[in-house]
Structure 1
Amino acid sequence: MSMPSWSPRAFEMRVKMAMKPTIFLVFEGKETDPWFYEQLVAKSKLRGEYEYELQPVELVDVENGDRSGGKARVLNLYKRMKSSGSLDVKTSGGRKVVMFCVDADHDRLTGRYIRSKYVTYTRHADAEAELLNSCDIVKLIQVLTSSGKAEAEKFAASIEGWQEELAKNWREWFFVCLIALFSGVGGPRVGAPPVGAKRVAGDCDADHVKATLVKMRQRSTSSASWQNANRLAKLKLDRYYDSGRERELLKGKWLAAVLKGLIDGYSRKNGGGRVRSDESIYVAIRSVADFSGRWTSYYTARFDALAGIGEAS
Structure 2
Amino acid sequence: MILIEEIAMSSAGGKDSIYKLLDMLRRNNQLVYQGNSFERRLVFAVDKDYDDVLSTGRRSQHVIRTRGADVEADIHLAGNLPKALSAALSVTQDDAEVWAAAVGDYVAELAAVWREWIELCVLSVGVRARCSVRPSRHSAINRDRYGTVDVDKLAQAESDIRDTMGEGVPDTKEVWVRARVAGVYRRAEQEALVKGKLLPHYLLWRLKPLFAGRVVDSSAFETLVTHLLLTTIDFADSWSDHYRTSLQKALAS
TM-score by length of 2: 0.83
Residues 120 and 158 in structure 2, CA contact (< 8 A), matched pair in contact too:
yes
Distance 1:198 1:73, change over 3 A: farther
Paired residue secondary structure (2:45):
strand
Paired residue secondary structure (1:307):
helix
Residues 124 and 130 in structure 1, CA contact (< 8 A), matched pair in contact too:
yes
2:80 aligned with 1:126, yes or no? no
1:31 — aligned with what?
Answer: none
Equivalent-residue separation in structure 2 for 1:303 and 1:202 (angstroms): 41
Residues 176 and 188 in structure 1, CA contact (< 8 A), matched pair in contact too:
no
Following superposition of structure 1 onto structure 2, how do residues 41-190 of structure 1 map, counting pairs within 5 Å? 54-60=1-7, 62-63=8-9, 66-183=10-127, 186-190=130-134
Residues 126 and 251 in structure 1, CA contact (< 8 A), matched pair in contact too:
yes
Count of residue pairs brought into register by the alignment: 248
Quick one: percent identity of the two aligned structures? Answer: 20
Following superposition of structure 1 onto structure 2, how do residues 259-298 of structure 1 map, counting pairs within 5 Å? 259-267=203-211, 269-277=212-220, 278-298=222-242
Paired residue secondary structure (2:42):
strand
Equivalent-residue separation in structure 2 for 1:240 and 1:259 (angstroms): 23
- Gaps (5+ residues) in structure 2? none
Distance 1:55 1:198, change over 3 A: farther
Equivalent-residue separation in structure 1 for 2:104 and 2:87 (angstroms): 18
Residues 113 and 146 in structure 2, CA contact (< 8 A), matched pair in contact too:
no
Distance 1:180 1:71, change over 3 A: closer
In the TM superposition, what is the alpha-carbon distance from 1:157 to its structure 2 partner? 2.6
After superposition, the C-alpha distances for 1:118-161 in whole angstroms (9 at most, x for unaligned) are 00111111111111211222222222222223322322232223
Residue 274 of structure 1 aligns with an amino acid whose one-letter code is D
Distance 1:205 1:284, change over 3 A: farther
Distance 1:219 1:143, change over 3 A: closer
Equivalent-residue separation in structure 1 for 2:123 and 2:61 (angstroms): 30
Equivalent-residue separation in structure 2 for 1:128 and 1:291 (angstroms): 15
2:158 — aligned with what?
Answer: 213
Equivalent-residue separation in structure 2 for 1:86 and 1:103 (angstroms): 23
Equivalent-residue separation in structure 1 for 2:232 and 2:241 (angstroms): 19
Paired residue secondary structure (2:244):
helix
Equivalent-residue separation in structure 2 for 1:69 and 1:203 (angstroms): 36
Relative contact order higher in (CA < 8 Å, ≥ 6 apart) = 2
Residue 57 of structure 1 aligns with an amino acid whose one-letter code is I
Residue 262 of structure 1 aligns with an amino acid whose one-letter code is R
Equivalent-residue separation in structure 2 for 1:246 and 1:263 (angstroms): 22
Higher strand share: 1
Paired residue secondary structure (1:96):
strand
Residue 242 of structure 2 aligns with an amino acid whose one-letter code is Y
Equivalent-residue separation in structure 1 for 2:18 and 2:164 (angstroms): 35
Equivalent-residue separation in structure 2 for 1:169 and 1:157 (angstroms): 19
1:7 — aligned with what?
Answer: none
Distance 1:113 1:185, change over 3 A: closer
In the TM superposition, what is the alpha-carbon distance from 1:79 to its structure 2 partner? 1.6
After superposition, the C-alpha distances for 1:165-212 in whole angstroms (9 at most, x for unaligned) are 211122212222344454566544552422255787476554312222
Equivalent-residue separation in structure 2 for 1:84 and 1:189 (angstroms): 39
1:40 — aligned with what?
Answer: none
Equivalent-residue separation in structure 2 for 1:97 and 1:265 (angstroms): 50
